[in-house]
Chain A
Amino acid sequence: MKAHLNRRYHFSASHRLHTEAFDAAKNRAVFGKCNNPHGHGHNYTVQITMSGPVDPSTGMVCNLAELDAFAETNLLARFDHMNLNTMNCFANMVSTTENLSIEIYRIFQRFPAAHLERVHVEETSNNSFDYAGDATPTPGML
């Protein structure tokens, strides 16, 4: 039977929303206080949804210790207490949480033991983003 396992991870990072495609005035106009040259930060929460058949011998979609170890190496060790704008993945991309969600989706697509359904990223308790690749979530699936 197919089930969906949801796991939440937490990291803190700084960023600045800014693009070389705009001049200084337009950056300020579009990104507002997020364009502060000194940056600002958030406590991000990342919620990963993995799906797959429940293995009868373990009762699990995938081994949680393996998923946590993958997240530690590929997400937390890379992003926690970093300035997102200094990371290679944001060299040519504004470090919005939309783009962060897509990057995190690409990371967890490489987890071999289950199928990634979607990622949900909370930038603050008031702002959250969902990305499911090319799939369109059906009503009630989030």
Chain B
Amino acid sequence: MIFLTRKAEFSSAHYYWNEAWSLEENQRIFGKCANRNGHGHNYTLEVTVAGAVDATSGFVVDLKELKDILEREVVSVYDHRHLNLEVPEFKTTIPTTENIAIAIWHRLDNKIPHAKLHRVRVYEMPDLFVDYYGEP
């Protein structure tokens, strides 16, 4: 079994807000992330897939194919977008790094031929990142 990781980057705006809470409660829990005008990050996505090495190609997956899948399923939807306002899954969930990692897992799961999605890692910044392994 080989683990292969491919990176991609996207830059997006977001804010943290729970509609069930008052302004004061949102500001207390989310701090400056609750600014309704939004703020943004350069996100780095690392997708790790696991699989056997194909005896003929020497590949776990074709990296070009994986790159195209990441572009189509994630980057083209998230990059230079406001996550709360323009990305469907964040109409109902808060676009925290945790929820972004989970959403990307669901966007990619079962779409990568010949390999199993192992981990989605999303860096909001170099000192803060989330891993999701598809666990319920």
Contact = CB atoms under 8 A, between A and B. Distances in A.
A59 B30 CA distance: 11
Q: Which of B50, B98, B129 has the most CB of A within 10 A?
A: B98
Nearest to A138: B133
10 contacts: A3-B132, A6-B130, A8-B127, A58-B29, A58-B30, A59-B99, A61-B130, A65-B31, A139-B1, A140-B119
Interface residues of B, number: 32
A59 B93 contact: yes
Q: Which of A3, A5, A60 has the most CB of B within 10 A?
A: A3
Contact of B98 (A7, A49, A61, A65): A61
B94 to A, nearest CB: 4
Given A1-B102, A2-B136, A140-B119, A58 B127 contact: no
Contacts of A63: 29
Given A8-B126, A49-B131, 8 more contacts: A1-B102, A1-B132, A7-B127, A57-B18, A58-B30, A59-B98, A59-B99, A60-B96
